[in-house]
Structure 1
Amino acid sequence: MNQETVRVFVGADRSQALAVPVLAHSIRRHTAAHVEVIPMLDLPVPQPRDPRNRQRTGFSFSRFCIPALAGYQGKAIYLDADMLVFGDILELWHLPMGDARVLVQKEVKFNDQTTQKPGAPPKRMIQSAVMVLDCARLDWSIEKIVADMDAGLYNYEQLVYEMCILGTPDIGTVVPFEWNSLEHHDAATRLLHYTDMYTQPWAFSGHPLGHFWLEEVRQMLTDGSLAMADLAKEVELGFFRPSLLRDIRYRHKLPCMLHRALDACNRITDAASGFVAHKAVYQAKRERERLIAQHGERHH
């Protein structure tokens, strides 16, 4: 009997390229399904004319390329690279689509009016970092999407946070919070999302949930799916912090009471090396801010 292939498209920029196989390893370790993981690394998408509408990362618009990349056939899952999976990906794959064409995270319910679930977004927006897409029913073209943005039909926020290119019935808000746990982990967590780019475990020493990512890497080193030379190369290129190699080797051997001292030592090492987390994204942000200021001056 032919086994269905679960297609997972992962958005990433060059600084997170090696995070993709770590995510893929965590997915495959928790499922018996045949999983195809497709990295979308800095896809060549058109640049909106208005700098305010430009991508916030190298992959902000990648999710809208998935139907075309999938040949407008079958289903697909979208994930960001800065994630780890702790549950069977088939749970996501088999969520009922109903009449929807895209499934996103459902509204997070609180026990009362003042208590917010840890890691939940402070206000409702489309959480599109985890999506299930019916590619056969999505005619998205990134060229047309950007052209419509240039024509003033919508802006970046409306596209990414409201997914305005779909009607309300097309969006199913059914993905459980446990499948996009933002900076949060408990016994029910199925997917941990390191949403703060500047404190991700490969970029910052001391993330309270960073040990999960470090342990996944250690398992890859043990089973041979990753080599220390691969990590060292990312450090050499400035994408991973230099202290990561020390963390991989020694953190799990130290008592917890010494972890804070290790973090302090690691940060000194990283600062002395001149390491800047997500340097390219930071530089792009500064350039976008400069262009926005110029754009505003021209319209005064």
Structure 2
Amino acid sequence: MGSNTANNDFAPVKSPETEKPFKVFVGYDPGEDVAYEVCRYSILKRSSIPVDVIPIKQSELRDSKLYWRERGKLESTEFSFSRFLTPYLANYDGWAMFVDCDFLYLTDIKVLKDLVDDKYALMCVHHDYAPKETTKMDGRVQTVYPRKNWSSMVLYNCGHPKNRQLTVEVVNTQSGAYLHRFQWLEDEEIGSVPFVWNFLVGHNEVVEGNPTTYPKAIHYTLGGPWFDAWKDCQFGDLWLAELENYKKEQEKNKVK
């Protein structure tokens, strides 16, 4: 877990409610530990608000008896289903975010948090995405289904009554279709976020001369530079530069 609190002598006095750290739950997979660390680092270094970054680790959830479903053959990561515990882990209170570990944030998370609207149960990028590839990352199977990648970055209104349906039992027993398609909700309860907050490498495009199409958060959904085969992917240089900055920060902390 990490936190980052902005220092601003001229900031207005905030109420205790607004001072609560924004909880960001990041999907964690032991095979992509470095991806998690860089994602976490990229969020915290740019945040102007208090943030708690919390990894969702399947091993810890199993030890706590919060997760017991068997891993299916089509689950490409350990957090394929545990991600839906986010409202529960946030005590069904306030807004919290879930994000896959294969993200790189380029913009202050406050800008994203400011988009939340309490009339929605959750908000995400409404991708129209049907990958042509049959494999992704390190050779794992690529699956295609409605609302694919919608659940890879979600702003949850954890206190919304509908999200109380996401109990530990439901997350462990319901189908992938039910969970990834948000079938506990009506369509009008799913708010939309601009695609630049979940910019899919290999799918979304930057339009020259249109700065609104440049990513605020890059999602290396097919595979990122932490895999040898993907070191030269689009925006791979940005991730590698962030990795170097993270390493330097770690060295500085060791010296201290």
Specify if TM > 0.5. yes
1:224 aligned counterpart, secondary structure: helix
CA-based RMSD of the aligned residues comes to: 2.8
- C-alpha distance after superposition, 1:134-160 (max 9, x if no partner): 11122111312433x3xxxxx323421
Aligned partners of 1:223 and 1:33: how far apart in 2?
A: 20
- Residue correspondence of structure 1 range 262-273 to structure 2 within 5 A: none
* Match runs of 1:1-300 below 5 Å: 1-2=13-14, 3-42=19-58, 43-44=61-62, 45-47=67-69, 55-106=75-126, 125=147, 127-137=150-160, 138-139=163-164, 140-147=166-173, 149=174, 155-160=175-180, 162-172=181-191, 174-183=192-201, 186=206, 188-196=214-222, 199-205=223-229, 206-208=231-233, 209-224=235-250
With over 3 angstroms needed to count, the CA separation of the structure-2 counterparts of 1:73 and 1:123, relative to structure 1, is closer
**Aligned-partner Cα distance in 1 for 2:224–2:184:** 31
Cα distance change, pair 226–102 in 1 and its aligned pair in 2 (3 A)? farther
| Number of corresponding residues | 204
Cα-to-partner distance string for 1:92-140 (whole Å, 9 max, x where unaligned): 21113242111011356xxxxxxxxxxxxx9961511111001112211
CA contact (8 A) 2:85 2:171 kept: no
For residue 228 of structure 2, give the secondary structure of its aligned residue in structure 1.
Answer: coil
Cα 1:219–1:168, aligned 2, differ >3 Å: closer, same or farther? Answer: same
If the length of structure 1 is used for normalisation, what is the TM-score? 0.60
Q: What displacement does 1:63 show?
A: 2.0
Return closer, same or farther for 1:41/1:227 CA change in 2, 3 Å cut-off: farther
Q: Deviations over 1:163-211 (max 9, x none)?
A: 1122223211x11110000015745210000101xx3211124332322
Ranges in structure 2 where 5+ consecutive residues have no aligned partner: 1-12, 129-143
Instruction: Note the alpha carbon deviations across 1:35-58, whole angstroms, 9 max, x for none.
Output: 110000224323169x57x74421
Larger radius of gyration: 1
Q: Identity of counterpart residues, as a percentage?
A: 28
Q: State the distance in 1 between where 2:252 and 2:123 align.
A: 33
Structure 1 unaligned regions, length at least 5: 109-121, 150-154, 229-300
SS in 2 for 1:18: helix
Stretch deviating more after TM superposition (206-215 or 67-76):
206-215
Please identify, of 18-27 and 39-48, the stretch whose mean Cα deviation from structure 2 is larger. 39-48
Distance 2:232 2:185 in 1: 36
Greater percentage in helix: 1
Contact conserved, 1:10 with 1:39, CA < 8 A, in 2? Answer: yes
- Partner-residue secondary structure (3-state), 1:32: coil
Q: Residue 226 and residue 215 in structure 1: after superposition, are their counterparts in 2 closer, same or farther (change >3 A)?
A: farther
Q: Distance in 1 between matches of 2:76 and 2:43?
A: 26
Q: Distance in 2 between matches of 1:67 and 1:123?
A: 23
